[in-house]
Structure 1
């Protein structure tokens, strides 16, 4: 009698391979989450810098008399939309000075909200510890309750 050798894998070999693949997948998943979090935090920093630069440019233009504003105003924009839509120029009637192409969104906010509504607003009259919206936009912050990878809450960035 001749014995025929069967070719293929045994059940034990298949189980071992699946267990090794499961361990590798379990190790990669947390790294993917951290990478996604890091990317969203980078987008948040970039958006905060863009808005901050636009608010500062608006204030400088107002202080130089390039914008038509009533006396006694703080000199900061009335809303984030003003930065993108533009404000009336005092130097050239009919011209609008624009400070942002579009208002960036908070990457941690709900995607259903318009970009302007994803940010918390702080007026010139409110304190940094208890920011409140008011007649102008002095600063913005993330409304997210999450904590960044650096241990600082995103609203404090």
Structure 2
């Protein structure tokens, strides 16, 4: 045995390498769906947060209009004409110096929107006060927002209905 190479110095056999590759393949086939599920769950959490933020801003605008802090023409709903109004602000009708009321710092982008060149407000579906919940349509104001993503969430509820 003096002339031959000892077993410990010979390295890995082809069988050992194949077993290692098979084990790594099995582990990765289990890990990839979990990563995909985690990414979807994160997007859904962001969607919930963004919808809540937008809806709270719309409600705050309506409340300010009902309190007489925003000038509303006769026949208007009291909701903003666009999402951009929430960021640009409106003049406080009760302020003697013309202060502005702001409702959002920025309009969040729908986390499922893939086109990053469109403005964030265009990534949301908008429902006017005059439209129904079953058939939301844009109109003279923004009463509610919803995701334009056609799929269903992990809870099997379509994203449009969140």
Superposed displacement of residue 68, structure 1: 1.7
Q: Deviations over 1:69-104 (max 9, x none)?
A: 212210000000001110121112532110011111
Q: How does 1:60-99 map to 2 (within 5 A)?
A: 60-92=63-95, 93-99=97-103
Answer yes or no: is 1:146 the counterpart of 2:147: no
SS in 2 for 1:144: coil
Question: 1:141 and 1:51 mapped to 2: Cα distance?
Answer: 10
Question: 2:28 and 2:110 mapped to 1: Cα distance?
Answer: 30
Q: How does 1:5-154 map to 2 (within 5 A)?
A: 5-6=6-7, 7-92=10-95, 93-110=97-114, 111-154=116-159
Answer yes or no: is 1:4 the counterpart of 2:23: no
How many equivalent pairs are there? 157
The normalised TM-score by structure 2 is 0.93
Question: 1:122 and 1:16 mapped to 2: Cα distance?
Answer: 57
- Unmatched tracts of structure 1, length 5 or more: none
Question: 1:113 and 1:48 mapped to 2: Cα distance?
Answer: 18
SS in 2 for 1:74: coil
